[in-house]
Structure formats: C-alpha cells, structure tokens
Amino acid sequence: MTESAADRQPGERSVVAAVRDAIVRGEFVPNQRLVEADLSAQFGASRATVRAALIELTNEGLVERVQNRGARVRAVSLEEAVEISEVRMMLESLCAAKAAERISDAEVGELRELGERMQMAVAGGDVVGYSGLNQRLHRRIREISAQHTAAQVLERLRGQSVRHQFRLAMRPGRPQVSLPEHLAIIDAICANRPEEAAEAARIHLASVIEALKAADAEVSPLHP
C-alpha cells in the first residue's frame, strides 16, 4: 500500500479535497468502507476533521453514510447514471441557451479554439486529451451561462458520474460520434442561437444516455 498521501498540510478543507480526489481517481473503489480512524491516519488530520469531510462528501453524493455504521464510497448504478444524464440534459441545455445569449467575442474565440483542439485530439487518437478538453468545454459553457445554480448542480453531478463518463470515453468509436455533437453546441452558442444551442445540448446528452445503456448491455449481454 502506498503511503504517498500522508503529506503535510493536515489542514481542514484539504481533507475533503484529498478524499474526493481519491474517490474520483478510483483510488477508493465503490462500496469501499471509509473508516474514520484509518483516514485520520492516512491523511494527517484528526478524526473530527475527516468526519466533517465525510459529511460534506455525503451531501456531494460521493459517499454514503448510515447511522452508526460508518461511511462507504457510493456506487452509482446504471439506472442512476441514466438519471444523472437526464438531469444533465435539462440543465446543460439551459446553460447552453443562456451562454448563447450572453457570450462575448473573446469567449467566442475561446470556444472555437477548444473545438479545434478537440478535433485535433480525435484525429490524433488522443482519447485522454479529448476527454480533458471535453470537461473543459462543458465547464466553460457553464461559466459563460452565468447560471450559478445550474452550474453548481452540474458540478456535483459530474463528480458522481465521473466513473461512468470515463468508461464511456474509452469506448472505441465514441469520440467520433460525440465530437460533431460538441461542435454543433459550440456553433450554436457562438452564433447566438439559444434555442439551437439548447437543442444541440439535448441531442448530445441523449446520445450519452444511449451510449451508457449500450456500454452496459455489452458488459452484461443478457439479464444475469
């Protein structure tokens, strides 16, 4: 077991970030128990600190806590991943429409550049690079939309579904189908067409939902 995490900065707020990172990076696998004393030793913090961190991560949907039974990494099922994507479909279309209304000239250049880099990444077969640009695009659209409430909800949901998202990005052929969808969103936003941008976002997320179901069907061919 690596002890790389036993660093300085026992801090207060850093513990939540550390545990969150460990979860989204896959270091802590779903359903793994998170014993307060263990985490307290692993990071330099006291038990009360990790306890506070676990409470915070619980409300973020990353960990599950039950009375007197401790915490564990929350496992999101396929059904939940689909639900999350449905909510994303609604909120990302809202943000896309808002962004199309408010975008500035400088931001247009930014989005266009992101789009070009995504095209290059796909052309070059750089899957992980494309995945990173993907995240940056969605985040930037949220920021441009200035819909703070929706952005916050979407950020929380992203943390919960990051595992499914990653599995999806690794599917062969997936980037080739998602790239044009992303470019359509960019085009609509940059052209100041809210309705078109919202529709493009809906189409993209519908595609994500289909891919999620397809990926699952491939793993478990028939109902086990």
Partner DNA sequence: CTCGACAAAATTGTCAACAAAAACGGAGCC
Partner DNA sequence: GGCTCCGTTTTTGTTGACAATTTTGTCGAG
Residues that bind DNA (CB under 7 A): 10-12, 33-37, 44-49, 51-52, 65, 67-71
Residue 37 interaction partner, one of DNA, a copy of itself, none, beta carbon < 5-8 Å per kind: DNA
Residue 159 interaction partner, one of DNA, a copy of itself, none, beta carbon < 5-8 Å per kind: none
Instruction: Choose between 149 and 220: whose C-beta lies nearer to a copy of itself.
Output: 149
Instruction: Choose between 44 and 129: whose C-beta lies nearer to DNA.
Output: 44
Residue 2's CB: how many other CB atoms inside 10 A? Answer: 6
Of the candidates 186, 175, 182, 185, the residue with the CA atom closest to the CA atom of residue 211: 175
Residue recorded with tokens 């969103």: 185
Can you tell me the distance from the alpha carbon of 116 to that of 218, in angstroms, rounded to the nearest whole number?
32
Q: 69 and 174 in contact (C-beta within 8 Å)?
A: no
Binning the chain into helix, strand and coil, the percentages to the nearest 5 are 70, 5, 25
The H or E element that residue 76 is part of is none
- Contact mark string toward a copy of itself, 26..65, x via CB under 8 A: ----------------------x--xx--xx--xx-----
CA atoms within 13 A on the CB side of 156: 14
Can you tell me the distance from the alpha carbon of 221 to that of 214, in angstroms, rounded to the nearest whole number?
10
Q: Binder to a copy of itself among 40, 93, 134, 165 (CB under 8 A)? A: 93
Residues within window 187-206 making contact with a copy of itself, judged by CB under 8 A: none
Residue 34 interaction partner, one of a copy of itself, DNA, none, beta carbon < 5-8 Å per kind: DNA
- Among the candidate windows 82-90, 101-109, 128-136, 210-218, which touches a copy of itself by CB under 8 A? 82-90
| DSSP SS3 for 8 | coil
Residues lying near a copy of itself in the complex (CB under 8 A): 13, 48, 51-52, 55-56, 59-60, 67, 80, 83-84, 86-87, 90-91, 93-94, 147-150, 153, 157
